[in-house]
Structure 1
């Protein structure tokens, strides 16, 4: 920051200094050219009135020199009393064509004019006694050169000093401004996995650095929550997997140590049941991991959700005596992963059958610009304080805590993850009572964007 800012300031100051010198020189030369033009006009007037003598009257300017030259470069008249008529002029012969065309010029190192040096020279052709001649006026540049030299020296000293001062100011200001950032960096580096609850100190100033610290603290809080959720998930998964594995191992050890032809087939059936439950739990864990994986998923296609719902209802009507009412299932098309949406419907129906007394009702329709899927049952319902918690991992309400009830507490968490990934929402509610046309139990409602709208 200091390097770039100083470079820009230095370039600007150097360009400004050069422009100042050029502008001052132009202004000085313009004034000197005006003086020389006045002298030429004065001598020209003398020539026209026949009043030209060998010595041209002086105007009092010691730096002014006026001479009238013939075609051979000899002096006809001069403002310098030491220059005699007929002598050789100190001006170059012949004069530059540009000077004779009326354009003032700078002639350097003129030794025969006044005290010598550099002069601004103006010339005008004329005729003296009928013969061609040239009036030449010169103004010394010595004073203007001293002025420009003094200014150049001042700029050569002052500009570097000013640039250094600017660089120091920018560096100190930048370091002071970035000091809170360095403090935040050190504090962030000190936060380790063993102390995930530590947060960054907020700067006292209410500026962008304060906003950055707030954002970083929010990020640390999210990371802390995600880490805690992951640890809980691992612990819960280990606990859920340990129980069926322990039961399977115990039963296998009994069968291996104490074979019994009558008992072993019964224990094998129980082992198969525990294995299937373990397999379902592993599948649920994998499905939950896939639903929360931020990596790109399979391309979304248009899915007829009503066909998926009716297919799952037909699959689940046979194994149990729970009646599933599908009369309110109408057309509904969404854009998404057909297999994931099939798992959503399957988990909702499994959950409803598990808690229903006799009946489950499924409804599908478009409402308010969304495809709405509702699954209700005639069970005990969900207490209001648990209607959000049921979508968390390994959440089982009191009535479903027995292993025979079949729930692992992952089904609705998987549903919530898939629905969220599809840009939808899910919530639990109480179904209206039988008198109001409902079933009186739990009601789970999913809203998904229709196929005609982006996800």
Structure 2
């Protein structure tokens, strides 16, 4: 019986060179097939290693047992030799030891346990014996002519008989061990592939059953188009990862539906807002064309200019709102002196309209963000206050508990408590007639809300304190932005 040896060593360079191509091909397989192949390969490798290990362990165990038996019988015979009680026929201890012989220095057999052997002839072992045997190591000798012949495990020891050196040899047949190993090998060769096929079949069907809900979700998702985003995917009964995936997909569909509704509403509102000034411009142009009147043309042209300016402001507001709702706007994040922005806008309005704005409470305030976007916030807040103020506007800026607070107040009618959140929605007008007459589009505070949110702040609407308590009595819009102090590059 020979030990198993690993004789094949693959060329690692070739394997590495082929990995990218194989990986790409493997990635094109279905998930079910990939799981089956990987699981089957792992089981096959594990069974192969376990089978080889079992055979090696069995071989080592049986050989060790046979060596122990052979050496034990050698010791028994040496004891007989040393006591000069050796006879021509050596007594046997059963079937474990097949043959024991005692040879003299010339290789002639002096005694044997093999019935039928003639002590006068040469022994059954090669002489001279191999060097490992003479050194005291047990070893396997093949094709010995003992009994039916075959391979034997042999142990040797030297002793002294009547002043002469003799060699005691004990040989144990490997036939039974080889038959046992052969039987086990046949069992592994037949059983392992069958078990691997069973594992592959089990993994294939288990993966199919596991992925079946995913396939169901995929088919249902394919049936949902942009016109029926209100539909939802069916949730599996099990509370596992597939259920969590279905819940996540339904939440995504809900967000897509909300975004679609918002977009359609935005388009409808924008079309409605654009239609009103365009209709007015068309009507006035038709009057100019069909009913020319030098005394009336100048006032009509002035009205046309007002409508064009209103239309321009509306388009600019829509563009600004679209930019502010961009999920990744290209805004800078520089340190901005917000007080300079506020005072600059106050001076510009005073130079253009002569309107007085109380800016005495504006102090230093530095924030991090986009200067143009923050300027639009200030402009929209002042325009909103101007449209609703009776005559007085106050703007304040200061640092409050690590934040920069910007407030704009007016002495108008104020904002009802029920509408203080709704005013930051697009195209919201609390007084439709007054807002249209004064050019309001309902986009100013919506733009403020989006820009402030992008800068990590918040905006809220309040009622200002009465004039007797230091306020103006109208609306008060409050903006909080993170301060850039202590975080400046």
Give the corresponding residue for 2:413. 380
Counterparts of 1:299 and 1:127 in 2: how far apart (Å)?
Answer: 103
Matches within 5 A, 1:354-433: 354-398=387-431, 402-433=435-466
Counterparts of 2:166 and 2:208 in 1: how far apart (Å)?
Answer: 73
Per mean C-alpha deviation after superposition, the further-off stretch among 275-284 and 315-324 is 315-324
Give the corresponding residue for 1:337. 370
Whether contact under 8 Å (1:426, 1:444) holds in the other structure is yes
Per mean C-alpha deviation after superposition, the further-off stretch among 341-350 and 52-61 is 52-61
Q: How many residues align?
A: 454
Whether contact under 8 Å (2:82, 2:159) holds in the other structure is no
Aligned residue for 1:118, secondary structure, equals strand
Matches within 5 A, 1:108-147: 108-110=142-144, 112-147=145-180
Per mean C-alpha deviation after superposition, the further-off stretch among 386-395 and 431-440 is 431-440
1:292 aligns with 2:325: yes
Q: How far does the alpha carbon of each residue in 1:131-167 deviate from its partner, in whole angstroms, 9 at most, with x for none?
A: 3332211111111112222222222222222222222
Give the corresponding residue for 2:67. 33
The Cα shift of 1:319 comes to 4.4
1:156 aligns with 2:189: yes
Runs of 5+ consecutive residues of structure 1 not aligned to the other structure: none
Give the corresponding residue for 1:54. 88
Aligned residue for 2:143, secondary structure, equals coil
Counterparts of 1:47 and 1:213 in 2: how far apart (Å)?
Answer: 87
Give the corresponding residue for 2:477. 444
The Cα shift of 1:327 comes to 1.8
Whether contact under 8 Å (1:322, 1:360) holds in the other structure is no
Q: How far does the alpha carbon of each residue in 1:42-91 deviate from its partner, in whole angstroms, 9 at most, with x for none?
A: 11111211222222111122652111223443322211122222322222
Give the corresponding residue for 1:45. 79
Counterparts of 1:164 and 1:452 in 2: how far apart (Å)?
Answer: 69
1:169 aligns with 2:202: yes
The Cα shift of 1:130 comes to 3.2
Aligned residue for 1:218, secondary structure, equals helix
Per mean C-alpha deviation after superposition, the further-off stretch among 427-436 and 327-336 is 427-436
Whether contact under 8 Å (2:73, 2:97) holds in the other structure is no
Q: How far does the alpha carbon of each residue in 1:160-179 deviate from its partner, in whole angstroms, 9 at most, with x for none?
A: 22222222222222222222
1:315 aligns with 2:348: yes
Whether contact under 8 Å (1:322, 1:357) holds in the other structure is no
Whether contact under 8 Å (1:65, 1:114) holds in the other structure is no
**TM-score (normalizing by structure 2):** 0.88
Counterparts of 2:469 and 2:417 in 1: how far apart (Å)?
Answer: 20
Give the corresponding residue for 2:46. 12
Aligned residue for 1:374, secondary structure, equals strand
Give the corresponding residue for 1:204. 237
Per mean C-alpha deviation after superposition, the further-off stretch among 251-260 and 375-384 is 251-260
